[in-house]
A and B are shown apart, each in its own frame.
Chain A
Amino acid sequence: MCSLLNFPVLAAAELNYWVVAFSAVTVIITIWMGFWAAKKARTASDFFVAGRSVSVGWNASAISGEYLSAASFMGIAGMVMSSGYDALWYPVCYACGYLFLLLFIAGPLRRFGAYTIPDFAEGRFDSPLFRKIAVIFVLFIGFFYTMPQMNGAGKALAYIFGALDFRGSWPDFLLSHDAKTGEALPGLPYWVGVALVGAVITVNVALGGMKGITLVQAFQYWLKMFAISVPVFVLLAVFGGYGKNLDANVSPPEKAAGITWSEAAEEAGVKRQALPPNDAAKKISVPADDTWISPFGPRSSKPALTAKAAGVEIADTRPFALLWTFSLIIALVCGTAGLPHILVRFYTNPDGVAAKRTTMWVMILIGVFYLFPPVFGVLGRNLMPELYNGGSGVKGTDGSVLKLPLLIGGTWGSILSGITCAGAFAAFMSTFSGLLVSISGAMAHDIYGRILRPGSTPEQRMRMFKVFAFVCGAAAILLGLVVENFEINMLVGWAFAIAATSYFPLLFLSTWWRGITMKGAAAGMLIGGVLSLASIVSTMFADNWGADGLKAWYAQHPLVRTLAEQPAIWGLPLAIILMVLISKATRATVPADVRAKMLVLHAPETLGLKQEYIKEHEGH
C-alpha cells in the first residue's frame, strides 16, 4: 500500500503549472461561490427560479454563461480549423436562435407564467398526460446534452495533466489504459475529469439551486469571455491580423490564377506552416485551401463526395451541400429556441419587459463571444497544422484553443494557455450546472411534486430537489463515462435536431394558433422528434457502428444521406403539418377557455389578466 504515497513522476513533457493553477482557481472559486450563494437561497422559489428577482444584467450574463458550452469554447475553433467556412454557420446560428426565441416565444411564455415546458404543456392544454410526455422529453434532452459536457471535461483534464506519470504511485484501476494492448499509460485517465466536474457542480446545485447557480454562471460568462478574447488579441498582435491570416489561404479564383499558398502567405505578410499530407489510415484529412475557405466545403459536401467516391455519377456536389446548409441553419436556429434548459432561465426574469431586455443583452454577449473562436481555427490552420493528426477531442483540432497560446513562448505563453484552460473548465461547469438544475427541477417539481406526490409542500419539494440533484448528478457522471469516444459536436447536434423538430413547433403553434389540441401537439412533437433522431442515428450506425449495408446504400443515395444527416428541413415541416392535421381532426377537444389562455399569452401584463385568470380558475 505504501506505493500510494509515492508522488507521481513527471513524464518527458514538462507539466505546465500555470495551466494547473488557473484551472484549480476556477474550480475553487466556483465551489466558494456555490457555498456563498447557498446561504442566500432559502425558499423553494429561490431554488427553482431564483426567487424570480434576478436583474437584467446578471440574468443575461448567467444565460450567456450557461449557453456557451464546451462545444462553443473549444469545438467551434476545432470545427473551423478542420472544415473551414461551413463551420461558421454554427456560431452564427447558435447566436441567431435567440432572435427567434425573442420574436415568437419569450414574451408569450413569460406572460403565461410557465417556463418549464411541462408546466406550459399542462397549462395550455389542461392535460396532465401531456405534462408527463413533456417531462420525458425534458429529461431525455437534458441528459443528452449533458454527455458532451462530461466528455469535454474528461478529455480536457486528461490533456492538462497529460505530463504526469502516475504509474507506480496509483493502483492500476485508477490509471488510463491503452485501448488495444491494455498497457497502463501516463497521464490522468478520462474518468477523473468527468468525476471532478460532475461532483463540483452537483454539490453546487444541491446547495444553492437556481439562485446559487445564477451567480456562478454569470461569473463564468465573464471568465470565458476574458479567456477567449485576451489570448486572441495577443496572438493577432504577434502573428498578424484575422484578415491577414485568412488572406494566406488561397481562394478558388486565386487558385485558378495559379497562386500557391506560400506566395499568398508571403504577400499577406504572415508566417504559415506547410499542411501535413492526407492519410486515410490515420484518419487524417486536411482540406485544401480553396475548399476550406469557401462555402460548400468538405463538411457540407460529404454525402455527395462519398457517393462520388463510390462511383455514383454526380456532375456537381454543390446542390447537395446547399441543401445540407439550409437544413443545418433550420436545425440550429429553431433548436436554440426550443432548448428546455434555456427556456427555464427566462423564467427568472421579474416580468415580460425584463425578459425581452434580457434576450437583447444575451444576444450581444453571445455574439461578441462568438467572434473569437473562429479566429483560433484560422490561426490553428496557419500556425499549428500538426493538429490535423486524426486525434479526437483536444488531441486533434479541438485542442487549438488550449495549445495555440503556447506559441507565444515563455512564461506569457504558459499563462495565456492557462487562461484558456480555465475558460474551458468554466464552459463545462456552467453548462452542466444549468442542465442539472433543469433536470433536477423537472424531477422534483414535475415528477415528484405533480405526479408522485401532488399534495407535497414547497419545502418537501425543495428537499427532493437536493436529493434529485445528487441522483441526477451521479447519473450524468455515469453517462459521461460511457461516451468517452464520441465527438462533442455530434452529440450537441443531435440535441439541437431533436429540439428543432419537437419543442419548437410545439411552442410556436401553441402560442400563436388557438386551434391546436393536445393530441395534435403530442403527435407532431413525438413523431417529428423521434423520426429526426432515428435518421441521424442511422447515419451514425452506417459510419461508426458497423452497419455496412446501410453505409453502402447511403453512398449510392447522397440525397437521402444528406436529408438523414440533417433532418430539420423535413422534420420541422412534418411536425407542423401533423400538428395542424391532427388538431383539425380532434377539433372538439380544443380547451373550452382557449380565448382566455390566448389573452394571458398575448395581452400586455399591465392589464393584469394573468392574476384574474388564476383567481377565476381557483374559485371553481
Chain B
Amino acid sequence: MRFLHRGAKASFFPLALPSGALLNARAMSDPLPEHKDFIHSEEFLQRLMRRQLKLSVACAAAFMVVLLGLPLLNYFAPDFMATRIGGFTLTWLILGVLMFPFVWIISGIFIKVSLKMEAGEAAKAREENAKRTGGIAG
C-alpha cells in the first residue's frame, strides 16, 4: 500500500527541528546579506504580490457576490426566490445544491491560473536574474 512513503522529500522539518528558532536566530541588529539580483528586488516582490492578490481578490469577489447576493435576493425578491423548480424553491436549490459546484469551479480556475502564473513568474525572474548578473545566476 502506497499510503505513506518513507523518507520525506522536504529539506528541513520546521516542526521536528525548531524552525522558529532558525527563523529567529538572527539578532535584530545583525545586517542581512545584501542581494543585488532581481529575485531579491523590491520590484519583483511587489509585482508578484500584486498579481497574486489580484487573482485571489477576483476569485473571492466572484464568490462573495453570489454568497452575499443570495440573502439580498431573498430579501428583495422573496416571491421570485420561492418559485418551484422540480419541487425545490429556487433559493433552496441554489443554496442547498448549486452552491457547491459553483465553488468547485472557482477554486479549480484559481488553482489552474495561479500555478501557471507562479511558474511563469519564476521562469521570468530567473531569466531576468541571469541578464542582470551577466549570466551568473544567484
| Interface residues in chain A, defined as those with a beta carbon under 8 Å from any beta carbon in chain B | 40, 43-45, 48-55, 58, 85, 88-89, 92-93, 95-96, 98-100, 102-104, 107, 113-116, 118-119, 122-123, 126, 128, 131, 211, 214-215, 241-247, 251-253, 268, 293-296, 318, 322, 325-326, 329, 333, 347, 350-351, 353, 356-357, 359-360, 363-364, 367-368, 370-371, 374, 441, 445, 449-450, 454, 458, 461, 512, 591-593, 595-596, 598-599, 602-604, 606-607, 609, 611, 613-614, 616-618, 620
Kindly provide the distance from the CB of B44 to the nearest chain A CB, expressed in whole angstroms.
8
Kindly provide the distance from the CB of A367 to the nearest chain B CB, expressed in whole angstroms.
4
Most chain B CB neighbours (cut-off 10 Å) among A55, A441, A606: A606
Given contacts A85-B95, A104-B56, A603-B48, contact A609 B39 (CB under 8 A): yes
Please tell me if the beta carbons of A325 and B71 are within 8 angstroms of each other in the complex: yes
Chain A residue numbers with a CB within 8 Å of B82 are 251-253, 293-294
Chain A residue numbers with a CB within 8 Å of B45 are 595, 598-599, 602-603
Please tell me if the beta carbons of B89 and A246 are within 8 angstroms of each other in the complex: yes
Chain A residue numbers with a CB within 8 Å of B125 are 603, 607
Instruction: List 10 additional A-B contacts (Cβ < 8 Å) besides A96-B99, A103-B59.
Output: A53-B10, A55-B3, A102-B107, A128-B20, A294-B78, A347-B15, A363-B103, A512-B53, A607-B125, A620-B26
Please tell me if the beta carbons of A602 and B48 are within 8 angstroms of each other in the complex: yes
Give Cα A289–Cα B121 distance, bound, in whole angstroms: 56
Contacting residue for B4 out of A85, A214, A616, CB 8 A: A214
Chain B residue numbers with a CB within 8 Å of A95 are 100, 103
Give the interface SS of chain A, mostly helix, strand, loop or mixed. helix
Please tell me if the beta carbons of A43 and B16 are within 8 angstroms of each other in the complex: yes
Please tell me if the beta carbons of B24 and A604 are within 8 angstroms of each other in the complex: no
| Interface residues in chain B, defined as those with a beta carbon under 8 Å from any beta carbon in chain A | 2-28, 30, 32-33, 39-40, 42, 44-45, 48-49, 52-53, 56, 59-60, 63, 67-68, 71-72, 74-75, 78-79, 81-82, 84-89, 91-92, 95-97, 99-101, 103-104, 106-108, 110-111, 114-115, 118-119, 121-122, 125-126
Chain B residue numbers with a CB within 8 Å of A52 are 8-10, 13
Give Cα A251–Cα B91 distance, bound, in whole angstroms: 12
Kindly provide the distance from the CB of B65 to the nearest chain A CB, expressed in whole angstroms.
13
Kindly provide the distance from the CB of A329 to the nearest chain B CB, expressed in whole angstroms.
6
Chain B residue numbers with a CB within 8 Å of A333 are 67
Please tell me if the beta carbons of B111 and A244 are within 8 angstroms of each other in the complex: no
Most chain A CB neighbours (cut-off 10 Å) among B14, B45, B95, B122: B14
Please tell me if the beta carbons of B104 and A367 are within 8 angstroms of each other in the complex: yes
Contacting residue for B106 out of A99, A104, A244, CB 8 A: A99
Please tell me if the beta carbons of B49 and A512 are within 8 angstroms of each other in the complex: yes
Give Cα A63–Cα B10 distance, bound, in whole angstroms: 20
Given contacts A252-B82, A325-B71, contact A99 B39 (CB under 8 A): no
Contacting residue for A592 out of B28, B39, B60, CB 8 A: B28
